[in-house]
Amino acid sequence: MNRRVTSALIALGISGIFTYWLSTRMTQTHVVAPIAKSQYVAAAANLEADQVIRAENLRVIDWPATVPLSGAFTNPGALIGRIVLYPLSEGEPILERQLSGPGAGIGITAKIPNGMRLIALRTDEVVGVAGFLLPGTHVDVLVTLHTSSSTGSSMDPMTFTVLQDAQVLSAGQKTEPDPEGKATVSTVVTLLVKPEDAERVVLASNQGSVHFVLRNGADREEYKGPPALLAQLSGYTPPAPVVKEVPKLPDLVAVKTTYTVETILGKTPRMDDFQ
């Protein structure tokens, strides 16, 4: 009887030790190492486009250090006074590309990158692609010229692409597209262009009528085709001019001619032959 009790106690003790050891191992296995964190400046509340950032608009949030954010800020003071270019949601980290440059001004001028210009062109429902020239879309600008030559004779009208892949920065006074993508007819459209492109557009618009061609925002291919001429619309190609061959003249053969000159010296005539 004592042996049975002793064996049971020993078995119970071994079982308890094994259970404790197993629970300790399992606890150690499920311990998660702390995640390294970085801190970035984020919006404390929703921020609208063209809004000037103030100190109360900012807060610092934790961010996984293994996923760094390019262009993010760690110092809130560097953002005070900057202008928001695009709407930001509460808690969203603020990036450099979402803000205007320091001292860039307010309003739409803050959205003009260095070295670029804004140009305003008149439009209507037809020219403006049925009102789908929305802020952020990309267009080509076509110009139709009705010109005359220096001699006063009328030339064949032509249409050509004067500007390609220009971004629409505003339609009328709207600098943000409609959230539902609805068309908006505006009388003026402003485009973001290079200075040399602005000169070409102004010159062409003063010489003819302007039309916009809406393009895919991801399409960056440049069109290099020739201008469209009025004569090409009918599809008629004039026949090539007929060139008549001029008959070849026979080679001229030099013919020797003999001339006789009579010279009279006194009473005696003298005959001399010359060729």
CATH assignment at residue 61: 3.90.1210.10
Could you tell me which residue, 60 or 112, shows the higher pLDDT?
60
pLDDT at residue 264, as a whole number: 61
Q: Indicate whether 248 belongs to any domain.
A: no
Looking at the 3D structure of the chain, how many domains does it have? 2
> What token pair was written down for 65?
């250090």
Q: Are residues 97 and 81 in the same domain?
A: yes
Q: Indicate whether 44 belongs to any domain.
A: yes
Answer yes or no: is pLDDT of 60 > 90.
yes
For residue 259, how far is the Cα from the chain centroid?
A: 88
Highest-confidence range of 114-123, 151-160, 238-247, by mean pLDDT? 114-123
- The dihedral sign for the CA sequence 204, 116, 179, 54: negative
Q: What is the mean pLDDT of residues 82-86?
A: 82
Q: Indicate whether 176 belongs to any domain.
A: yes
Q: Are residues 193 and 86 in the same domain?
A: no
Mean pLDDT of all residues belonging to the chain: 76
Helix (H, G, I), strand (E, B) or coil at 264: strand
Q: What is the mean pLDDT of residues 39-43?
A: 93
Answer yes or no: is pLDDT of 126 > 80.
no
pLDDT at residue 42, as a whole number: 93
Query: End-to-end CA distance of the chain, in Å?
Result: 169
Q: Are residues 117 and 216 in the same domain?
A: yes
Quickly count: other Cβ atoms within 10 Å of residue 115's Cβ: 7
Band the pLDDT of 83: cuts 50, 70, 90: confident
Answer yes or no: is pLDDT of 189 > 80.
yes
The domain of 135 spans: 113-232
pLDDT digits (tens, 9 = 90+) for 170-181: 877 666 666 666
Measure the CA–CA gap between 58 and 41, rounded to whole angstroms: 7
Q: What is the mean pLDDT of residues 21-28?
A: 66
Q: Are residues 199 and 218 in the same domain?
A: yes
